[in-house]
């Protein structure tokens, strides 16, 4: 029989009077102020979203009442929410109910500063940044919020008084399923830093009902089920039913009598705002994350159809609207999936821009001047998902606000900036022009004109003297791919036909005839509607050159190829339409300039810059690793490092101190004990805390090379099996090899890797010959909360992507901050981490980025000679040692000399010998615990650069042009 959870303590009793030792009663509720008098507290009933009766005290009055907070007052406030916030039945008492009551209590401490921040931004009308992202991987809010409010101790004591434990209560909170990996976690770190540093900045995203998916590991590998994070409600949000904006899909474009274009007909929905407070650390600033849900008005419910029994039809409009925000990254194998993804991206862009523009107009009042927009608004596109911001802002400015094309383009270009997060071609989004034309017809018109003006700029830049160079630049830089060139550009690529084996001599007269098209006709073509049949609105007239002179023809390059898809290259649109393009690590930004966008860099070199990623030291050291944080503060002499990570460098001078090393090892072991429990709870495996904890947690992808890691483990296992028990112990350091991460639901090869890892684990972990010398664990459903437990306990962390393919990585920064030593390639931020922590404190292996292209070419030509150890491991896998699973496809991807998915594109075989030799050095270093602890300390001491505070300062100064706004 289950044991009942301890009940919440005595019923709520209204506290005495303002100025007493407890909290302040406003109406019939206790309001708990934060510890510092400068912080505000609630004067509104959040639960019912209505004003509480009775006069509301001013902030000055409330601040004067109490300068510190009493845990008993917090307990009373929590009890009040348990009794009166209508979420749970009164007869039920559980840690989950305690969590929701506690969260509402904390919300009371946030809301006044939240409202005050919003009001103050409006008052001072400073330039504000808006960060648009499809993902915000927030993690649990409770411990982070009370930590930023400096109330952790008081809430722990209050819950103790109520018969509860803070850690148990906090564990009831589900991770918000608003992101997948590094992209979303970076966005959340940035929000924390923006608030902490007092920058006027908001986040915009979508409120996914189910998020990505919950990962379940079975004997068949990964299975996906819907995430249920909203099942019990979200105490951290307020639905702003009064903040909603219309959105349109489909329809057609007509020109009105006012000369403007009008997008009419089609499907109409609305986006509704849900706001989440983002508190800063040791500051009153509380910024906002605004998430959009989608719906339609109630009158769209077809009551007649419902009463006639056609219930599906009756609710069709609601279902079509609401499904937009059901799932993060819905499968896009079908055309319906592609349409849904594009709807998501447009919803984010349009609702957010309408909201931003509304705020700009409200603040400007009677002095509204659209030329001021870029001096008041900065829009950052986090990757290519928000690319539609560019044509959408153009559409609103021209069609709604009545500005000219040139005025709108100037405003858009100065407002919008783009962060590139990848060099993978498949991640540089390309959308079907036909789907976009159907769904967003007005935006296609705008994109077509941007594309034509870009081509004219390219022609002006490079001229026609070297026609091959011009052709290559147009191929590289065009926004529309496999779409006819407009006539004004196509005429430059007229060439003589072949006739009876001889080339005709080109005549200037024929070229002149082909150039007779008037400027007005060109403009008419640009604005004409694109159709699926012709696919060439801009170039209908170009073939006339052939009609006028049959001895000449257009280069096939100028024409649409019906065998290939017509696409919109979203990354190119981002580069063209924004004033700044930044990579996220030094090596990545160089690849962006020299490879991915080289032609754009040559044309606009000042657009490109680097902003190395960072992570917040609040969540990723202070709150997730409190024992280590206490040690750091003790040895540095203060906790100032939490806001100024440069002070972490002060640990360097103590790196050899035996007392510090002893404390450091104790903290690490205590954190490892928590992971022992986590692994037992989530997998059933029992692991030893005395073994090295070797961790690779990140999205499952071939380029991240979890496959290299598990093959290295197999090699280790095979060598152990070939030895006597005595030699095994002598030759190998005990390890627990931990994996975590989700494979995208339709990424078959990634799911094969997950299955392979779990099959290896099932064999190794039950081998009595090996025992605790080697364990393999795949932690299911990896998320922020799991990371907050794993990272502080990790001793070796694997960041082993193929060089030149990881943009940055941010988990590598979190591991280093927590004293974990990295093994990795010179890829992404690894390069800078190694520079900062010292080469001797980083385990380096593998090919370097400049070598990769040549190595792939070598493989394609059949010249690669694999290391015998690599062949040995593959043969061992094929022997059936790991069960009856079929690994032919997985092993086959590492073989062959050509073809996608083969030929070892990610160079696992090339780097394998270097990798296992580097792992031998890891074992050697770990045997010397004094040396290892010194390396660990120096990793933490060398991590100051990787604070997101530093990154945000750079964005604010170099891209957004915003300054801190300090609340009075």
pLDDT at 837: 98
Asked if 600 and 461 count as a contact pair (C-beta separation under 8 A), the reply is no
- Strand locations in 369-471, DSSP E? 377-382, 416-419, 430-432
What pLDDT was estimated at residue 548?
52
| Residue of 80, 473, 704, 859 marked active site | 704
pLDDT in tens, 675-687: 999 999 999 999 9
Question: What are the Cα distances from residue 451, in Å, to 107, 488, 607, 713?
Answer: 48, 13, 18, 50
Q: What percent of the chain has pLDDT over 90?
A: 79
Label residue 407 by pLDDT band (50, 70, 90).
very high
Low-confidence winner among 484-498, 737-751, 766-780 (lowest mean pLDDT): 484-498
Task: Give the C-alpha separation, 270 to 667, whole Å.
Answer: 51
Look at residue 17 in the predicted model and tell me its pLDDT. 29
| Residues 342-379 pLDDT 10s | 999 999 999 999 999 999 999 999 999 999 999 999 99
Query: Is residue 160 one of the residues assigned to a domain?
Result: yes
Q: Which of 29, 698, 728, 945 is catalytic?
A: 698
The residues, ordered by sequence, that sit 6+ positions from 624 with a Cβ below 8 Å of its Cβ are: 787, 788, 789, 791, 792, 818
pLDDT, mean of residues 735-746 = 96
Residue-level pLDDT at 902: 79
Q: Please tell me the predicted confidence (pLDDT) of residue 424.
A: 83
Are 193 and 283 in contact, with CB atoms under 8 Å apart?
no
503 in any annotated domain:
no
Per-residue model confidence (pLDDT) at position 172: 95
Q: Of 419, 436, 458, at which residue does a domain stop?
A: 419
Which one from 140, 442, 622, 699 is the annotated catalytic residue?
699
Average pLDDT value for residue range 834-852: 97
Domain stops at, among 419, 436, 465? 419
Does 249 fall in a domain? yes
Stretch among 9-13, 699-703, 935-939, 960-964 having the lowest mean pLDDT: 9-13
Q: Cα(92)–Cα(554) distance, rounded to whole angstroms? A: 78
Q: What is the arithmetic mean of pLDDT over 528-533? A: 38
Catalytic residue among 412, 645, 758, 810: 810
The catalytic residue among 97, 318, 385, 421 is 421
Average pLDDT, integer, range 635-651: 98
Domain that holds residue 645: 626-946
Say how many domains are in the chain: 2
What tens digit of pLDDT does each residue of 158-196 get? 999 999 999 999 999 999 999 988 999 999 999 999 999
Domain boundary among 419, 450, 465: 419
User: Is 708's pLDDT higher than 50?
Assistant: yes
Banded pLDDT at 937 (limits 50, 70, 90): very high
* Tokens of residue 175, six digits: 């991770």
Say yes or no to pLDDT of 12 above 80. no
Catalytic residue list contains 719: no
- DSSP class per residue in 327-350: BSS---SSHHHHHHHHHHHHHHHH
Task: Determine what percent of the chain is predicted with pLDDT higher than 70.
Answer: 87
Nearest to 146 by CA among 186, 194, 109, 100: 109
Q: Is 545 a residue whose pLDDT tops 60?
A: no
**In the predicted model, what is the mean pLDDT of residues 826-830?**
97
According to DSSP, residue 141 is labeled: S
Domain assignment present for residue 958? The answer is no
Ranges 211-220, 510-519, 749-758: which has the least confidence: 510-519
Report the pLDDT value the prediction gives residue 705, as an integer from 0 to 100.
Answer: 98
Taking the C-alpha atoms of residue 907 and residue 754, their distance in angstroms, rounded to an integer, is 19
Averaged pLDDT for residues 140-165: 95
Q: What is the DSSP letter of 906?
A: T
How many other β-carbons are positioned within 10 Å of the β-carbon of residue 220?
Answer: 10
Would you place residue 552 in the very low, low, confident or very high pLDDT band (cuts 50, 70, 90)? confident
Higher pLDDT, 199 or 55: 199
Q: Which residue has the higher pLDDT, 960 or 539?
A: 960
Inform me whether the pLDDT recorded for 693 exceeds 80. Answer: yes
Is residue 349 in a domain? Answer: yes
Asked if pLDDT for residue 383 goes beyond 70, the answer is yes
- Residue 175 DSSP one-character state: P
Confidence of residue 643 (pLDDT cuts 50, 70, 90): very high
> Does 673 fall in a domain?
yes
Burial (CB count <10 Å: 0-12, 13-18, 19+), residue 959: buried
350 in a structural domain: yes
Instruction: Give the pLDDT score at 719.
Output: 98
Closest CA to 194 of 542, 614, 577, 688: 614
pLDDT band of 88, cuts 50, 70, 90: confident
User: Does residue 874 carry a catalytic annotation?
Assistant: no
pLDDT at residue 560 tops 50: yes
pLDDT number for residue 292: 98
For the residues 745-761, what does the mean pLDDT come to? 96
Active-site residue, 704 included: yes
Q: What is the CATH number of the domain that holds 685?
A: 3.40.50.2000
For residue 45, what pLDDT band results from cuts at 50, 70 and 90? very low
Residue among 815, 812, 814 nearest 825 (CA): 812
Euclidean distance between CA atoms 329 and 744, whole angstroms: 9
Average pLDDT for the chain: 88
The residues, any chain, with a CB within 8 Å of residue 833's CB and separated by 6 or more, are 812, 813, 816, 822, 842, 942, 943, 946
Catalytic site residue from 478, 814, 834, 910: 814
pLDDT of 885 reads 84
User: Within a domain: residue 178?
Assistant: yes
Q: Is 698 a catalytic residue?
A: yes
Weakest mean pLDDT among 513-517, 911-915, 935-939: 513-517
CA distance 931 to 921: 13
Q: For residue 624, give the DSSP letter.
A: T
Note whether 610 and 591 are within 8 A (CB): no
0.85 surpassed by pTM: yes
pLDDT of residue 527: 37
């Amino acid at each position: 029989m289950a044991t009942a959870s301890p009940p919440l303590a005595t019923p709520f009793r209204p506290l005495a009077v303002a100025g007493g030792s407890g909290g302040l009663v406003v109406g019939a509720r206790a309001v708990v102020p934060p510890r510092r008098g400068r912080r505000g507290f609630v004067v509104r009933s959040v639960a019912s979203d209505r004003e509480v009766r009775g006069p509301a005290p001013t902030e000055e009055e409330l601040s004067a009442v109490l300068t510190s907070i009493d845990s008993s007052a917090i307990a009373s406030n929590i009890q009040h929410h348990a009794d009166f916030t209508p979420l749970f039945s009164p007869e039920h008492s559980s840690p989950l109910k305690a969590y929701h009551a506690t969260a509402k209590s904390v919300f009371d401490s946030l809301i006044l500063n939240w409202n005050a921040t919003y009001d103050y931004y409006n008052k001072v009308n400073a330039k504000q940044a808006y960060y648009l992202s499809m993902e915000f991987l927030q993690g649990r809010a409770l411990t982070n919020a009370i930590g930023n409010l400096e109330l952790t101790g008081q809430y722990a004591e209050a819950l103790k008084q109520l018969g509860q434990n803070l850690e148990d209560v906090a564990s009831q909170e589900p991770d918000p399923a608003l992101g997948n990996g590094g992209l979303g976690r970076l966005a959340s770190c940035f929000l924390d830093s923006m608030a902490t540093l007092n920058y006027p900045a908001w986040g915009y995203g979508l409120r996914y009902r189910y998020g990505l998916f919950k990962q379940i590991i079975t004997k068949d590998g990964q299975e996906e089920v819907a995430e249920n994070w909203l099942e019990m409600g979200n105490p951290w949000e307020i639905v702003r039913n009064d903040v909603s904006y219309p959105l349109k899909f489909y329809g057609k474009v007509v020109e009105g009598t006012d000369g403007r274009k009008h997008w009419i007909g089609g499907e109409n929905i609305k986006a509704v705002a849900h706001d989440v407070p983002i508190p800063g650390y040791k500051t009153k600033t509380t910024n906002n994350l605004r998430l959009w849900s989608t719906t339609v008005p109630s009158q769209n419910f077809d009551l007649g159809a419902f009463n006639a029994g056609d219930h599906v039809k009756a609710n069709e409009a609601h279902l079509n609207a609401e499904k937009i925000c059901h799932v993060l990254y819905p499968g896009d194998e079908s055309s319906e999936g592609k349409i849904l993804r594009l709807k998501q991206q447009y919803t984010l862009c349009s609702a957010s821009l309408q909201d931003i523009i509304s705020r700009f107009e409200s603040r400007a009042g009677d002095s509204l001047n659209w030329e001021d927009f870029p001096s008041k608004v900065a829009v950052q596109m986090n990757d290519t998902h928000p690319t539609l911001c560019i044509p959408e802002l153009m559409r609103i400015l021209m069609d709604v606000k009545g500005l000219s094309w040139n005025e709108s383009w100037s405003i858009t270009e100065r407002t919008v900036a783009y962060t590139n997060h990848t060099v993978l071609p498949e991640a540089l989004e390309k959308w079907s022009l036909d789907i976009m034309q159907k769904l967003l017809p007005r935006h296609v018109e705008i994109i077509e004109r941007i594309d034509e003006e870009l081509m004219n700029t390219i022609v002006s830049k490079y001229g026609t003297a070297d026609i091959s160079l011009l052709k290559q630049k147009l191929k590289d830089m065009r926004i529309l791919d496999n779409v006819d060139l407009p006539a004004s550009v196509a005429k430059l690529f007229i060439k003589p036909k072949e006739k009876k084996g001889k080339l005709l001599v080109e005549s200037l007269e024929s070229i002149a005839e082909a150039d007779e098209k008037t400027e007005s006709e060109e403009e008419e073509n640009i604005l004409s509607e694109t159709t699926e049949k012709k696919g060439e609105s801009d170039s209908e007239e170009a073939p006339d050159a052939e009609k006028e002179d049959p001895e000449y023809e257009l280069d096939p390059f100028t024409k649409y190829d019906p065998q290939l898809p017509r696409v919109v290259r979203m990354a190119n649109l981002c580069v063209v339409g924004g004033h700044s393009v930044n990579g996220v690590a030094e090596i990545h930004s160089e690849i962006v300039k020299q490879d991915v966008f080289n032609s754009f860099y040559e044309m606009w070199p000042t657009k490109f810059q680097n902003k190395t990623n960072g992570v917040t030291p609040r969540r990723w050291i202070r709150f997730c690793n409190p024992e280590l944080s206490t040690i750091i503060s003790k040895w540095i002499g203060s906790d100032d490092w939490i806001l100024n990570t440069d002070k972490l460098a002060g640990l360097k001078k103590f790196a050899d101190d035996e007392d510090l090393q002893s404390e450091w090892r104790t903290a690490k072991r205590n954190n490892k004990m928590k992971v022992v429990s986590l692994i037992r709870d989530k997998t059933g495996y029992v692991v030893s805390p005395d073994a090295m904890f070797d961790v690779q947690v990140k999205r499952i992808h071939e380029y991240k090379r979890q496959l290299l890691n598990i093959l290295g483990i197999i090699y280790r296992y095979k060598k152990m099996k070939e030895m006597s028990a005595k030699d095994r112990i002598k030759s190998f350091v005990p390890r627990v090899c931990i994996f975590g991460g989700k494979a995208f639901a339709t990424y078959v090869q990634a799911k094969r890797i997950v299955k392979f890892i779990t099959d290896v684990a099932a064999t190794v972990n039950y081998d009595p010959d090996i025992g605790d010398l080697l364990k393999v664990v795949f932690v299911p459903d990896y998320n922020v909360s799991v990371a907050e437990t794993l990272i502080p306990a990790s001793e070796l962390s694997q960041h082993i992507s193929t060089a030149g393919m990881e943009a940055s990585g941010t988990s590598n920064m979190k591991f280093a901050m927590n004293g974990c030593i990295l093994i990795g390639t010179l890829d992404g931020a690894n390069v800078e981490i190694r520079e900062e922590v010292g080469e001797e404190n980083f385990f380096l292996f593998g090919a370097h980025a400049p070598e990769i292209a040549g190595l792939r070419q070598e493989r394609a030509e059949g010249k690669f000679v694999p290391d015998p150890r690599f062949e040995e491991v593959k043969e061992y896998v094929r022997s059936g040692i790991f069960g009856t699973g079929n690994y032919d496809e997985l092993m086959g991807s590492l073989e062959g000399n050509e073809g996608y998915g083969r030929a070892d594109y990610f160079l696992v075989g090339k780097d394998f010998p270097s990798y296992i030799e580097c792992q031998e050095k890891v074992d050697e270093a770990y045997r010397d615990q004094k040396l290892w602890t010194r390396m660990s300390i120096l990793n933490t001491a060398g991590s100051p650069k990787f604070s997101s505070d530093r990154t945000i300062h750079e964005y604010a100064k170099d891209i957004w042009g915003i300054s801190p706004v300090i609340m009075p």
